[in-house]
Amino acid sequence: MDQPLRLLLVEDDEDDALLILRALGRGGFRPDALRVDSAATLRAALDDGEWDVVITDHNLPGFDSTEVLAIVRGHNADLPVIIVSGSIGEDIAVAAMKAGAHDYILKDSLARLAPAIERELRDAETRRAHRQARETIEHMAYHDALTGLANRYALEHRIRQALDDFAHGHAHALLYIDLDQFKIVNDTCGHVAGDEMLRQIATLLKGPIRSADTLARLGGDEFGVLLQDCPVAQARRIGEHILERIRDFRFSWQGKTFNLGTSIGMVMLDRPGLTLADVLRQADMACYAAKDKGRNRVQLYLPDDAELRQRHGEMEWVNRINQALESNRLTLHHQRIVALNGSSPPAGREFLLRLREADEQRLILPGTFIPAAERYGLMPAIDRWVVANCLAHLSACRPAGISCDGELAFINLSGATLSDESFLDYVQRQLDRHGFPAENLCFEITETAAIANLNHALAFIDGVRSLGCRVALDDFGAGLSSFTYLKTLNADYLKIDGAFVRDMLDDPMDAAIVEAVNTIGHVAGLQTIAEFVESEAILSRLADIGVDYAQGYGIHRPAPLPEP
């Protein structure tokens, strides 16, 4: 064995130094040694070179091994230090080991030196491996594996520190960046392309970021930037610069080129009492508002912004609705529809949605949560749940002997479902699964949704009618300009807006509107249904006018579905 050894020898006696080198040579080492004999030369050697081991005498002119240990530890805590001395008491040896010496060897026992160094080199390699593993783990804990940026955990840690800084007169800003159209890249080219694009975006985002700031990937296509000591105007300029860079960016993959955009929510960390949860929630709210306003913009969160408070409430409902879908906490009620003047079929039921609170103690009406579901794209999933559960109930009624044959089942649909091209196939599968006659199923769509999505509404109506289902135009009369669309919308029923029905006995204008809608509906070949019928007197008046059906609290209050 002729193992090279980078040796830093702290020794004032040349003869003793030579004895040490000879002992190492006999032990199989080929030392490349530098001898120093003072604190100054020791520090210089540590600064200028890389060493495998330090061997030091205990007693040196002007300093001893205790100071050597302190100097070495201050430079490199992992560098082994072995004390070689002509004489050293047991108490001194113990103190030296406690101070960080790895071994002590008497000069008349130098045969022990080579094995001691070999052992220390192995131990040092193990320590280096452990340190590298620890550093790797720490890096992984604070960094995103895909982009190499800081991760959510690291950003949250620094936000907490920034919030603490506010008490000392510092104010910071957080930018919450959500890429637009990223899903198109993933869906079109696959996740490998999406990952490469995120890496390129990460590099792109570093441009406007100052060295003191923190850029992090939060997950998916979301990034965050903590801007240190940054006033609002400067933070906005940085945000606008980020928007511009992403707007000008073109991602190319296998001959395809994609343009991207982004929405940025901005929060100033300049108010007392803010918590990490407050900051992240406010940034998320501001980012959603930026998307709602057309994307590619920076939206600053302001505490007194009523619009942002509304968004926050809706976003909380999004989570509650998703949880309700996952845990089956949606439920159906029904309200009977009765025939007037011998109309056929003789009766029907409208199926109405409710949401049960997690504690099962309270039912929430749809007017509370449907606006959030509509804004954030949850209505198609809710509509499918209603169709499946309504048909499941009706199919279970027959063997249980509950009379529902010949009744029409009315189900409300959202405007978003009108443009869901897969919805018709879903309805057909549910009809087949439950063996329910399509002609007894009627879908209600509001006149405003139909007119706002006219082409989709026409295609939808033709589609469900081709399955054998029927269609009702709901809340008709609220927009009188929609009368002209009755020639186009090939529906079966016209539901007269209850706002006119409720006061028709006291308000001549409301009565005239009810009569007009009923007349026009009949001319168009539709049967009419009056909503919000709350008294026998209104029911009688509707029959006199010639309305075909009626529903409302005066006939039947919404009730839970009967157990089949």
For residue 34, give the H/E element and its range.
strand 29-36
Average pLDDT over residues 191-217: 89
Between 487 and 480, the more confident residue is: 487
In this structure, the strands spanning 81-85 and 441-446 are unpaired
pLDDT at 405 exceeding the cut of 70: no
Helix axes 152-166, 276-292, angle to 10 degrees: 110
Distance of alpha carbon 552 from alpha carbon 564, whole angstroms: 24
Between 484 and 53, the more confident residue is: 53
pLDDT value for 381:
92
Q: Tell me the per-residue pLDDT of 351-388, one tens digit each, with 9 for 90 and over.
A: 999 998 877 678 888 888 888 788 778 899 999 999 99
Average pLDDT over residues 18-23: 88
pLDDT at 311 exceeding the cut of 70: no
One-character DSSP codes across 47-91: HH---SEEEE-SEETTEEHHHHHHHHHHH-TTS-EEEEES---HH
On whether the CB atoms of residues 139 and 242 are closer than 8 A, the answer is: no
pLDDT at 258 exceeding the cut of 80: yes
Between 41 and 480, the more confident residue is: 41
**Reduced to 3 states, what is the DSSP secondary structure of residue 42?**
helix
| Residue 450: Cβ within 10 Å count | 25
Between 32-41, 42-51, 90-99, 479-488, the lowest mean confidence (pLDDT) is in 479-488
pLDDT value for 470:
94
pLDDT at 402 exceeding the cut of 60: no
Q: Tell me the per-residue pLDDT of 322-348, one tens digit each, with 9 for 90 and over.
A: 888 888 889 999 999 999 988 777 778
Residue for token pair 């001194």:
92
pLDDT at 88 exceeding the cut of 70: no
pLDDT at 479 exceeding the cut of 60: no
One-character DSSP codes across 480-497: GGGGGGGGT---SEEEEP
pLDDT at 312 exceeding the cut of 70: no
| Residue 26: Cβ within 10 Å count | 12
Between 207 and 398, the more confident residue is: 207
pLDDT value for 400:
47
Between 483 and 336, the more confident residue is: 336
pLDDT value for 360:
66
pLDDT value for 370:
85
Distance of alpha carbon 324 from alpha carbon 417, whole angstroms: 20
Closest CA to 203 of 253, 148, 250: 148
pLDDT value for 401:
46
pLDDT value for 175:
95
Confidence of residue 314 (pLDDT cuts 50, 70, 90): low
pLDDT value for 482:
56
pLDDT value for 529:
95
Average pLDDT over residues 88-109: 78
Q: Structure pTM?
A: 0.53
pLDDT value for 494:
92
Which domains does the chain possess? Answer: 3-139 (3.40.50.2300), 152-303 (3.30.70.270), 336-355+378-559 (3.20.20.450)
Which residues, 6+ apart, have CB-to-CB distance to 310 below 8 Å?
Answer: none
Confidence of residue 398 (pLDDT cuts 50, 70, 90): low
3-state SS record for 436-460: CCHHHEEEEEEHHHHHHCHHHHHHH
Most trustworthy range by pLDDT among 62-76, 223-237, 439-453: 223-237
Distance of alpha carbon 352 from alpha carbon 561, whole angstroms: 10
Confidence of residue 313 (pLDDT cuts 50, 70, 90): low
pLDDT value for 308:
63
Q: Tell me the per-residue pLDDT of 132-184, one tens digit each, with 9 for 90 and over.
A: 777 667 767 788 888 889 888 889 989 988 888 765 667 799 999 998 878 78
> Considering the chain, what percentage of its residues have pLDDT values greater than 70?
92
